[in-house]
Structure 1
Amino acid sequence: MLAAIALVWGLSALMSFVPWLHAHGLYLRDAVRGGGEWWRLVTAMWVHLDWRHWLADACAAAGLLLLAGRAVRVREALLVLVACGIAVQVALLRVPAIGWYGGLSGALHGLALWAALSVLRVPGLPRAVGVLLSLGVIAKVWVEQSWLAPVVFEPSWGFGVVRAAHAAGAVAGLACWLLQEWWRGRRTPAPH
């Protein structure tokens, strides 16, 4: 578990604080759509705008990976984090108002919902944790109303918060959980 957290922290720090990686990793809509720089769909989630942004996402990732690690293998949680991050970038391609993006927050919303739903399946873990976290993610996405304003400038951060990424991440997390449940259902023999 600690190795997974160190991997997320290290990769995101490297992408955020090495100038060349930051410049070539950030999601830039025009560079992806018109310039063929498709790798930005994979790298943008690791790029952060400043040390506070990085630290907030890094701490949230650590907490969610620790929670998910109680219910599933760490490898699965990392896979969901990456899948949600890529899904967020692909979704942002459909939102012309978002010209650039960086950070783990969209992917973390997906990981949070997926982890919360996964916790509900594990006997011995408090169901209240899964229920409250699920409701928290859903309520946050609803309150942000990204369908009305995909980006909102946040003075305390000094940049626009891409709320559409949070909603896209939550939808991706739900999709990952549904796919996981479908796959488990196929692998589990039906009772006679």
Structure 2
Amino acid sequence: MMATVAGVALLSALFTFVPWLHAHGLYMRDAVRVDGQWWRIVTAMWVHLSWKHWLVDVAAATGLLLLTGREARPRDMLAVLVICGVVAQIAMLRIASIGWYGGLSGALHGLALWGGLRLLQAPGLSRVIGVVMCVAVLVKVWTEQSWLAAIVFDPSWNFGIVRAAHAAGAVAGLACWVLQEWWSNRRR
């Protein structure tokens, strides 16, 4: 588990603090759509806009991985994190107002919902944690109302918060859970 946490922290640190990786990893809509730089769809989740942004996302990832790790394998959690991040980037290709993006927040919303749903299936305290995680993600996505404003400038961060990424990540997390449940029931 700690190797997964360290891997997420290290990969995002490299893309955040190494200038060449930062410049070539950041999601830039025109670079993807016009210039064909498709790798940005995969790398943008690892790029952060400041050390504070990186630290908050790594702390959230650590907490989610440790909480969900009670009922899930590290490779499954990492797969869901990456899938949700990629889905969030693909969703942003459809929103013209989002010209650039970086960060794990979309992927983390998906991991949180998926992890909460996994914990709901466990007994005891894990189930309570699962309820709290699911409710927290759903309430946050609902109150952000990304369908009204996909991106909102936040002066405390000094950049726009891409709320659409949060919603897309949460939908992807739900889809990952549904597919995983379908697959496991199909194999029985």
Give the TM-score, by structure 1 length: 0.96
Report SS of the residue matched to 1:71. Answer: coil
Which residue number in structure 1 is paired with residue 33 of structure 2? 33
2:98 pairs with 1:127: no
Q: For 2:10 and 2:60, how far apart are their aligned partners in 1?
A: 14
Residue 128 of structure 1, CA deviation: 1.5
The alignment status of 1:107 with 2:107, answered yes or no, reads yes
| CA distance in 2: counterparts of 1:173 and 1:125, whole angstroms | 22
Give the corresponding residue for 1:180: 180
1:25-104 maps to which residues of 2 (within 5 A)? 25-104=25-104
Deviations 1:108-162 (A, max 9, x none): 0000000000001123443111111101100000000000000000000000000
Q: Distance in 2 between matches of 1:66 and 1:11?
A: 18
Instruction: Write out per-residue CA displacement over residues 53-106 of structure 1, whole angstroms, 9 at most, x where no aligned residue.
Output: 000000000000001110111110000000000000000000000000000000
- Identity percentage of aligned residues: 68
2:69 is paired with a residue whose SS is: helix
Contact 1:68/1:74, CA 8 A, preserved across alignment: no
Q: C-alpha separation between the residues in 2 aligned to 1:132 and 1:43?
A: 30
SS of residue matched to 2:70: helix
Q: Where has structure 1 moved over 4 Å in runs of 4 or more?
A: none
- Aligned-pair Cα RMSD in Å: 0.7
Compute the displacement of 1:6 (Å): 0.3
The answer for the alignment partner of 2:8 in structure 1 is: 8
Separation (CA, whole Å) in 2 of partners of 1:84 and 1:68: 16
Instruction: Tell me, in whole angstroms, the C-alpha distance in 2 between the residues paired with 1:47 and 1:60.
Output: 15
Aligned counterparts of 2:176 and 2:11: Cα–Cα separation in 1: 23
User: Would you say how many aligned residue pairs link Structure 1 and Structure 2?
Assistant: 188
CA distance in 1, matches of 2:166, 2:150: 10
Distance in 2, Cα, partners of 1:82 & 1:125: 27
In 2: Cα distance, 1:126 partner to 1:159 partner? 35
Structure 2, unaligned stretches of length 5 or more?
A: none
Deviations 1:12-61 (Å, cap 9, x if unpaired)?
00000000000000000000001000000000000000000000000000
Q: How does 1:147-186 map to 2 (within 5 A)?
A: 147-186=147-186
Partners in 2 of 1:21 and 1:73 — Cα distance?
Answer: 29
CA distance in 2, matches of 1:69, 1:128: 15
Give distance in 1, aligned partners of 2:172 and 2:90: 11
AA in 1 matched with 2:82 = V
